[in-house]
A and B are shown apart, each in its own frame.
Chain A
C-alpha cells in the first residue's frame, strides 16, 4: 500500500509541471477567450492602456448568428462546413483509392508511394502559391484542353461568384432539425441488420418523427433572422478544396496503405477462397477493418479544414469574401478591426465545432479501452 502511494506521489510530481503549464497556457487561455467573448472589448478604445470592458452576455454570439451585419461570418461558416465535407470525401476517397491501387503491389510501388506522399511535405504557403498559378483564369488547368485542340476552360476557380446548394439562413432551426433527423435515420439503417428492433425504436422512428414534424409544422419554427439571407456552396472554394485534397490525399493514402499492409495475407486468401472478388475484399473485409484509421483520418482532416488559414491566405488573400473561412475572419476581426470580443466569439464557435468532431471520438475510444 505504501509502495503504491509513493509511486503515485512520484507520478504526480513528474506530471505536475506539464499539468500546470497546460492548465495555464491551454485551458486558462481558452477560459480567458470565453470570457472575452462575453464582453464588449473592441472598437475605438480597444487598444487603450486600460480599455473599458463590460460584460454583455451572449450578445456577440447572437450578433454572429442572427445579426444584421455579420452575413460574411455566416457565409464563412457555411464555407467551412462544405469545405470540410468535400475535403473529407475527396482526401479520404482518393487516398483510399490510391492505397488500394498500391496495395496490389504494382511495379515501383515504393517510388509511387513517395511521390503521392510528397505534397504533404510542402508548406501551405508554397502549395497555395503553386495552385494559385495553376488555377489562374487564363493559365494552368484552364488551358489544358488547348493542348488537345479544344477551347480553353473559362471557369473562375478562385473568383467565381456563383453559388449552389443555396438555403435561407432564416430557416436555420428547421435545417438543423432536418440534419438531425437524417443522421438518426442513417444510424438506424446501419444498425438495422444487427438489431432491427433497437435500430427501429431508438433511431429510425425518432428520425422519421422529427423529419415529419419539421416538414409539416416548419413554418411555426422561430426564424433566425428578420430578413431572407441566402447562403450556399461558393464555387470559388472548389479551387481551394482541390488544392487541399491534392495535399492531403497522399497522407490518407499512407495511413490506409499502412493499414492494408497490417492485414494478414491469410485474410485476403480466406476471403478469396470464400468467393470474394478484389472489390468484395476491400468493401467487406479490408476497409471495415480499418475503421479506426478512417476515424483518425476524419478527425485529423476535419481539424485541418476547420483551422485552415494559410492555404486560403496564399491562394486568394484574406479579403476574398467568396473563399472566406471563419479562421481568416477571426484574424481580420480581431487584429484588423480590433474587435477583440467578437474575434474571441468566432474563435469559440470554431472551438465548439471542432469539439463536436473530437468529443464523440474521445468518448468512443475511452469506452473501447474500458471494454477491453
Chain B
C-alpha cells in the first residue's frame, strides 16, 4: 500500500511529446481511473508508473521512493494487461504463482497463496488448466489473481475489460470494485470507457493529448466539467452544448438564445451583458411531462420532436428548440411521440455549465450542486491548472 505521485512527468518518443508534464497525486488506497480517447497518453502514463516506459522528464514516486531509475520488478507493482498476458505454456496455478516463484518463496507458501486467491476468484477448479482452455472471463480472473497473489503496493490496470462482451464486462466491473474494497490497494486503472470510469473511480482523471483536462470525483466531472471536451467525453449521450448570449431581463442575469431567455439561478460577477457563451445541459437535465412541475416557468420552452429512441426504462428524445438548436434529452419512462410534434420542455438551469466559446473552458460554476460528494475540492480551477489536491475520504 502506498501513495503514488507524478511530478511534471513528460514522455517523449523521439521528437514527439506524448505526455506534457503531468502532476498527479494519488492517495493511499485510492482508485484512480485515467480516461481519455485513443492517443491521449493514458496507457503511456500507466506504463511509466510500471517502469515499462522510461520517464523523459519529471519524477514518479511510489510511497516515498522516487522510482525513475528503479527496475519494474523492484517497484512492487502488479499490472493487468488488456490481453491478460498470461503465460500460455503454464497452468493457471503456475501463472498465478510465477511472481512468488521468481521471488524464491517456498513451494508451500506459493501453493497456499495461489489457492487462497483462486478460491476468492472462484478459479479453484481450473488451477491445472492452461489459459487456452479458459473462457475470456476466466482468463481475466487469472490475470487478476496473478496480480493479487503478489500483494503489491499498487495495482495497475490497462483496459482490462475491453476484450470482454458487454454483459461480462458489467459483471467483472462489479467484481473489480468489490476486490478493491476488500484489498484497499492503491489502484490506477486506464480505460477509454467512461462508464467504467464513472462506476469504478474514487477520482477520475480525464486526459486529452497528453494533458490532464480535469481531475475529480465521478459526480464532479459529470456535473461540473472543466471544459467542453470533458463535458462531451463524460456522459452518454454527451452534454448538449448550445450557443447563447449573456443578457439581463427584468433585472435577472441569464442566457439568451435566438428566441428564448433563461435566467441564471444567481447573479455572477464574471459575466457581462452581451458576452457570448456556450452553455451545457446534461440530457437528464431536460424534463418533459410530469417532471416539468419542478421546473420554474422561466426555464421552460417549446421544442419540436425529431426522433424518439426507447432504451427500455428511459427514452432519448432528439429535440429542436428555436427551430435551430438541436439537443438530446434523456427522460424517464417509455415516451412515444410523433416526429414533428411539439412538446413543452423544461431545463434544470440550476445545473447549467457555462463555457467560454473561445477557450472552451468553463466559466466558474453557477451553483453548488446538491449532493456533491463530500471532500471534493470546490475550486475547479485547481483541477484545471493540473495541480491536484489530495483527495481524502
Contacts and interface: CB of A to CB of B under 8 A. Distances in A.
B58 interface: no
Instruction: Give the dominant DSSP class at A's interface.
Output: helix
A266 B73 contact: no
A288 B85 contact: no
Contacts of A106: none
Residue of B51, B78, B99, B150 contacting most chain A CB atoms (<10 Å): B99
A276 B87 contact: no
B18 interface: no
Interface string B59-80: 0000000000001110101110
User: On chain A, which size bracket covers the interface?
Assistant: 10 to 19
B89 A288 contact: yes
A274 B73 contact: yes
Contacts of A272: 51-52, 71-73
A270 B89 contact: no
B166 interface: no
A264 B87 CA distance: 10
A198 interface: no
A264 B85 contact: yes
A269 B85 contact: yes
Nearest to B87: A285
B81 A269 contact: yes
B102 A275 contact: yes
Interface string B144-159: 0010001000000000
Interface in A259-317: 264, 266-267, 269-277, 280, 284-285, 288-289, 291
Nearest to B158: A266
Nearest to B50: A273
Contact of B73 (A264, A276, A284): A276
Contacts of A285: 87, 89
Contacts of A267: 85, 87
Contacts of A280: 102
B83 A273 contact: no
Contacts of B72: 269, 272-273
A27 to B, nearest CB: 36
A285 B95 CA distance: 11
A285 B86 CA distance: 10
Contacts of B86: 270
A291 B90 CA distance: 13
A367 to B, nearest CB: 15
B73 A269 contact: no
Contacts of A264: 83, 85
A275 B70 CA distance: 12
A267 B89 CA distance: 12
Interface string A242-270: 00000000000000000000001011011
Contacts of B50: 269, 273
A281 to B, nearest CB: 10
Interface of B: 47, 50-52, 71-73, 75, 77-79, 81-83, 85-89, 98-99, 102-103, 146, 150
9 interchain residue pairs of minimum CB distance: A274-B99, A275-B102, A266-B85, A270-B85, A275-B73, A272-B72, A266-B81, A269-B52, A288-B89
8 contacts: A266-B81, A266-B85, A269-B85, A270-B86, A270-B146, A273-B99, A274-B150, A276-B98
